[in-house]
Amino acid sequence: MYKHILFATDLTEDTEYLINKVRGMRGFTGGKLSIIHVVEPLPGYSYAYLGIEDIEGQLIEEARVSLEKLGQQLSVDKNDQWIEVGPTKSKILKIAEDVGADLIICGSHGRHGLSLLLGSTANAILHGAKCDVLTVRLPE
């Protein structure tokens, strides 16, 4: 069965819905759990309009605080919590490979276009992953 699960979260209100699914899979498999959140970098031109504040730094810090709370809820050691900055798909796939994850769990909205079955991020992870991917359909 699965030995290392990577929970990829966007840290939105949907995370609460996913927690029970993640706990259930972890309990079923007895696998180690890591969690990741990726902060997408702001386009360079947005800094000119938003002022000189370190907006990206604020986003990273807010994510770190939220991820620590989530880590406490799921009993995940801080060494197994990842905040990355960059393209979501590639960062999730890199960490999954680096930690030896054999299952990635993520949520899926799937509201538009080719992504009617999966959200665009979930779809990208599914097609790029070298391990199994469990996408959890989020409530509308």
Q: What is the rounded CA–CA span in Å between residue 67 and residue 89?
A: 18
CB 106 within 8 A of CB 121: yes
pLDDT in tens, 10-44: 998 889 999 999 999 999 999 999 999 999 877 66
Domain range enclosing 42: 4-137
* pLDDT at 52 (0 to 100): 41
Q: Which residues of 48-57 are buried (b: 16+ CB within 10 A; e: fewer)?
A: eeeeeeeeee
pLDDT value at 116 more than 60: no
Q: What CATH code is carried by the domain that includes residue 101?
A: 3.40.50.620
Quick one: pLDDT band at residue 119, thresholds 50, 70, 90? low
Number of structural domains, the chain? 1
Reported pTM: 0.87
* pLDDT at 46 (0 to 100): 52
* pLDDT at 90 (0 to 100): 96
